[in-house]
């Protein structure tokens, strides 16, 4: 914009000088009238373009430095994950001698779903039912579900829900929009991966997601059993900054 205004100013200055030369050489009234018209038009545009250049310089050097960086940053487009093909699940990588440190500890799946052990009730004397009374069976207490690990409003898996049973083709919905966001990955740990974390989408997705599709995968060929699903958010430096993990049961 500043370059165009400067070029226009130079052009109309040259037109103004040409009009003055035309007036100096004019003999007839028609030539003088045309010279005055060219001079007046050039003067108007010179004033207007000078004002535009002054405004641009003032905004760039006086107003722009005082604005917060968030207003000058271009908006990040939200990807249409439903139209973006995702790679097939990659096989578990062979662990190296020096593991990459993550903020959250690696969780090893047990052979059965994670549930707290039942608490044995204290031994109490059971009264003998009187003759003619009917014995009433006591209800069995329900086991508490596996708690979520590290999930919050900025990093969460909303579908499938924690403790859900799934099969075949699975779509993961949720949010990955953490501070200093640099990308996210989806991983699984269970019977098929031999206790290692395996990528479900085959790559790091760089666009943030808010209450939308995180990725989809076909697990119809995987071994059935309990799996931990981990959503990891990275910062712009490529370091794992936040993690959210849930447990699901795969039945094929």
Q: What CATH number corresponds to the domain at position 178? A: 2.60.40.2550
Q: Is residue 105 part of a domain?
A: no
Provide the 3-class DSSP secondary structure of residue 158.
strand
Inter-residue contact 227 to 250 (CB < 8 Å): yes
2 vs 216: which has the higher pLDDT? 216
Q: How confident is the model at residue 179 (pLDDT cuts 50, 70, 90)?
A: very high
Confidence band of 101 (pLDDT split at 50, 70, 90): very low
Top-confidence residue, 138 or 34: 34
Does residue 35 form part of some domain? yes
CB 215 within 8 A of CB 199: no
Q: Is the pLDDT of residue 41 over 80?
A: yes
**Rounded CA separation 82/84 (Å):** 6
Of 41, 72, 103, which closes a domain? 72
Domain count, the chain: 2
Closest CA to 53 of 106, 6, 123: 6
Where does the pLDDT of residue 119 fall: very low under 50, low under 70, confident under 90, or very high at 90 and above? very low
Q: Name the residue among 9, 95, 108 with its Cα closest to residue 52.
A: 9
Instruction: Please state which of the ranges 129-138, 150-159, 161-170, 172-181 shows the lowest mean pLDDT.
Output: 129-138
Q: Which of 22, 38, 72 is the last residue of a domain?
A: 72
pLDDT higher for 185 or 99?
185
Would you say residue 217 lies in a domain?
yes
Average pLDDT over residues 138-146: 42
Pair type for strands 198-199 and 240-250: unpaired
Which of 47, 72, 97 is where one domain is finished? 72
**Residue 69 contacts residue 180 (beta carbons within 8 Å):** no
Q: Which of 31-35, 145-149, 204-208 has the highest mean pLDDT?
A: 204-208
Residue 174 predicted with pLDDT over 60: yes
With vertex at residue 47, the alpha carbon angle to CA 41 and CA 48, rounded to the nearest 5 degrees, is 90
Which whole number is the average pLDDT over 158-176?
95
Q: pTM of the prediction?
A: 0.44
Structural element, H or E, at residue 174: strand 169-176
Got the DSSP string for 179-246? TTEEEEEEEEESGGGTTS-EESSSS-B-S-EEEEEEEEEE-TTSPPEEEEEEEEEEETTS-EEEEEEE
* Distance, CA of 182 to chain centre: 8
In angstroms, the CA 197 to CA 21 distance is 82
**86 lies in some domain:** no
Q: Nearest CA to 198 among 206, 185, 210, 189?
A: 189
Host domain of residue 42: 2-72
34 phi, psi to nearest 5 deg: -65, -40
The pLDDT assigned to 230 comes to 96
**Cα 108–chain centre separation:** 27
Confidence of residue 115 (pLDDT cuts 50, 70, 90): very low
Is 141 within the bounds of a domain?
A: no
SS3 170: strand
pLDDT at 18 over 80: yes
Q: Say if 23 falls within a structural domain.
A: yes
pLDDT above 90: residue 244: yes
Candidates 236, 227, 224, 180; CA nearest to 200 is 227
Q: Residue 68's pLDDT is what? A: 76
Q: Is 163 within 8 Å of 148 (Cβ atoms)?
A: no
Lowest mean pLDDT: which of 46-50, 89-93, 154-158?
Answer: 89-93
Q: With pLDDT > 70 as the criterion, what percentage of the chain qualifies?
A: 69
């Amino acid at each position: 914009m500043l370059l165009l205004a400067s070029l226009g100013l130079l052009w109309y200055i040259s037109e103004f000088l040409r009009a003055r030369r035309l007036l100096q050489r004019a003999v007839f009234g028609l030539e003088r009238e045309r010279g005055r018209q060219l001079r007046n038009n050039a003067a108007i545009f010179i004033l207007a373009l000078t004002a535009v250049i002054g405004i641009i310089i003032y905004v760039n050097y006086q107003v722009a430095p005082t604005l917060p960086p968030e207003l000058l940053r271009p908006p990040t487009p939200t990807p249409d994950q439903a139209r973006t093909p995702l790679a097939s699940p990659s096989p578990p990588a062979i662990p190296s001698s020096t593991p990459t440190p993550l903020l959250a500890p690696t969780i090893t799946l047990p052979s059965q779903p994670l549930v707290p052990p039942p608490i044995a009730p204290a031994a109490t004397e059971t009264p003998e039912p009187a003759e003619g009374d009917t014995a009433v069976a006591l209800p069995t207490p329900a086991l508490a579900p596996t708690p979520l690990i590290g999930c919050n409003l900025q990093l969460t898996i909303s579908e499938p829900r924690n403790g859900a049973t799934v099969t075949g083709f699975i779509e993961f919905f949720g949010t990955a929009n953490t501070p200093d966001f640099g990308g996210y990955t989806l991983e699984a740990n269970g019977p098929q991966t031999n206790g290692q974390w395996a990528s479900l989408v085959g790559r790091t997705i760089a666009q943030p997601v808010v209450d939308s599709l995180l990725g989809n995968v076909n697990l119809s060929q995987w071994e059935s059993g309990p799996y931990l699903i981990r959503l990891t958010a990275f910062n712009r430096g490529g370091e794992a900054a936040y993690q959210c993990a849930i447990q699901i049961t795969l039945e094929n």
